[in-house]
Structure 1
Amino acid sequence: MSTETVPSLKQAPVREYSRIVGIGAYRPEVIVTNDDVCQWIDSSDEWIRQRTGIVTRHRAPREVSVVDMAEGAARDALKSAGIEASQLGAVIVSTVSLPYATPSAAALLTDRIGATPAPAFDISAACAGYCYGIAQADALVRSGAAEYVLVVGAEKLSDLIDNTERTISFLLGDGAGAVVIGPSDTPGIGPSVWGSDGSKWDTIGMTHSLLEVRDLSLAAESDGRTAAAVLETEAKLWPTLRQDGQTVFRWAVWEMAKVAQRALDAAGVTVDDLSAFVPHQANMRIIDEMAKQLKMPESVVIARDIADAGNTSAASIPLATHRLLKEHPELSGKLSLQIGFGAGLVFGAQVVVLP
């Protein structure tokens, strides 16, 4: 039996706590009203307001990309944090709307803002993606793997919708929100409560896979159709978002309040300790019902960014938090409960100290 001593490995200095040290946002200038949306679907401004709480949503013009919006939010967050991009130890972008399977949005964003050679990667966790990013950034900072981590939620969902589709298209908007996570002397991010339920994988998703589009296109070519006809077939089959709205609504209302309560318990606080509640901006009725189930006191300021921004998936929570702090600066340094949930089905929640 060998008695050789194995050399001990050097470890990065561990930090006990992390917190949000800066926040930023990017909202596209194009504003789409409910009346605009109703040109495509048989609905009305009144119905959309009553069922979703949405009045307008922001949409990015064709020339503005997911990375463009992520860059705008990232630069804003870095300025808010008072640090240089070169100090970032990692860059995380949560998005489902980058039009490339690879490379990542994060790698390009890292170069644009001057954070090279920081490690960079994307998260595909839909509307829970931002909370997933916070969970990973918190771990990276506390483990000593990075001093500062940039977390961005950026979506151009207008690229993924069929304007004539009624289950989800009218809900969605574009935008980006970002935060910088850094070390802290006191707890700034509570334990993350996150998970998934893949048994409902197809509840929110795409109409087609890219492989289906390819196969149908090849079939059109083999049938001897003209190039124009093949292109028309491909355009019609472009994968777009859709959802089983009733299933999603029931899941969000009845299950996500339980997740939110678990996040409160994990952080060792109650709703009475909160100053803000920032749920994913999916639907105003879901937001109100969750607040009701959690017995949220009237003193808690609830984010309702959805009225003006629509559902922006991974960008939803940081955008809503940014607006909340702009409208209520007195919330700075106070506790906020945030929870994201969406396609997968996936969910994530934390109690955080607002920057």
Structure 2
Amino acid sequence: MPGSRITALGHYQPERVLTNDELATMVDTNDEWIRRRTGIATRRIAAEDETVADLATAAAAKALAAAGLAPSDIGLITVATCSNRDRCPSTAAQVAARLGLPSPVAFDINNGCAGFCTALALADHSLSAGAARHALVIGAEKMSDVTDWTDRSSCILLGDGAGAAVLSATDKPGVHPVVWGSAPELGPAVRLLDAWQPRFGQDGQTVFRWVTSQLPGLIRDTCAAAGLEPADLAGIVTHQANLRIIEASLRPLGLPEDIVVARDVVDSGNTSAASVPLALSKLVERGELPSGGPVLLIAFGGGLSWAGQVVTAP
């Protein structure tokens, strides 16, 4: 098969909703300040005993059911995450065992917030090469585990959740070539330090300047790799880092008003590698994206890495 396409999606978010007003009782902040600077109103926080594998399994089970596939059909499973506590066995291996996948290749990817788009590209390459016929690609994060709840500049941003996609080999490709890379000299701008008790940190202004100056060009390059112009898109799902970043990055493109732009960050906060599949799954579930339409996925994060591709909406 010369390519692959997304055939189904699923997502999961914990029950607990953390509001801006509740955060204001924890650190020196308020609802108006958070909304003005980030656009975020709420975020979801996992229970103490919920793990990254729990979140990933819930999202993956929904995607697998939506695809109408049996566990034995999945030949590859990968989880993009930077917040999992388990080094070995991988989160992917744990999810595979819980879903009853008999013998898939299973591995995790840590490319920060760009992880899902990176994992999607690697799975697409594998299916295109004939290594499997169906794959589960998951982005899952429990960012509350790595949040410094005394730092008002970062604790207001982060949330927990997971999104998953089933990818299937096809003779009509629905995942276009990836555009990816990194700016290693800016690697410390987004970070998790101290691997045994990590805490999220970032240089917010550095990230904002880099993303708003570079993302418009990367979006054009990603569309060009699919033989499209940005105006041809049916939808855009960027990493849900910050509403100000999303809007400032898209403004120079002069996009038509009918293009659907994901703004899940308002309700879910920044869920790192989970943000793109989580937002995409919600848009598809609500019927806001036309089936068969071209959708741009693009993410950026620790490293400072980026990855993106145009996909066909299931």
Q: TM-score range by the shorter chain?
A: over 0.9
> Residues 101-147 of structure 1, C-alpha deviation per residue, up to 9 Å, x if partnerless?
22210111111101131010000001100000110111111110000
Partner of 1:42: 28
Partner of 1:155: 141
Count of residues in correspondence between the two structures: 314
User: Structure 1 residues 122, 330: CA separation in 2 closer, same or farther (over 3 Å shift)?
Assistant: closer
1:20 maps to amino acid = I
1:304 maps to amino acid = R
Q: Tell me, yes or no, if the aligned pair for 2:159 and 2:271 is still in contact at 8 Å.
A: yes
Partner of 1:334: 293
Calculate the aligned-residue CA RMSD, in Å. Answer: 1.1
Moved over 6 A (4+): none
Partner of 1:287: 246
Counterparts of 2:18 and 2:188 in 1: how far apart (Å)?
28
Verify: 1:347 aligned to 2:314, yes or no.
Answer: no
3-state SS of 1:167 partner: helix
Sequence identity percentage: 44
3-state SS of 1:259 partner: helix
Partner of 2:275: 316
Partner of 2:54: 68
- Aligned with residue 112 of structure 1, among 98, 121, 124: 98
Counterparts of 1:109 and 1:206 in 2: how far apart (Å)?
24
TM (norm. structure 2) is 0.97
Q: Tell me, yes or no, if the aligned pair for 2:3 and 2:174 is still in contact at 8 Å.
A: yes
Partner of 2:84: 98
3-state SS of 2:156 partner: helix
Counterparts of 2:195 and 2:309 in 1: how far apart (Å)?
33
Where do 5+ consecutive residues of structure 2 fail to align? none
> Residues 169-199 of structure 1, C-alpha deviation per residue, up to 9 Å, x if partnerless?
2100000000010022322011000111111
> Residues 319-340 of structure 1, C-alpha deviation per residue, up to 9 Å, x if partnerless?
1011111223552221101101
> Residues 300-335 of structure 1, C-alpha deviation per residue, up to 9 Å, x if partnerless?
010000000000001000110111112235522211
Q: Tell me, yes or no, if the aligned pair for 2:148 and 2:154 is still in contact at 8 Å.
A: no
> Residues 77-123 of structure 1, C-alpha deviation per residue, up to 9 Å, x if partnerless?
00111111211111000001111222210111111101131010000
Verify: 1:28 aligned to 2:14, yes or no.
Answer: yes
Q: Tell me, yes or no, if the aligned pair for 2:4 and 2:128 is still in contact at 8 Å.
A: yes
Verify: 1:184 aligned to 2:143, yes or no.
Answer: no
1:321 maps to amino acid = L
Verify: 1:303 aligned to 2:247, yes or no.
Answer: no
Partner of 1:253: 212
User: Structure 1 residues 262, 171: CA separation in 2 closer, same or farther (over 3 Å shift)?
Assistant: same
2:279 maps to amino acid = A
2:115 maps to amino acid = G
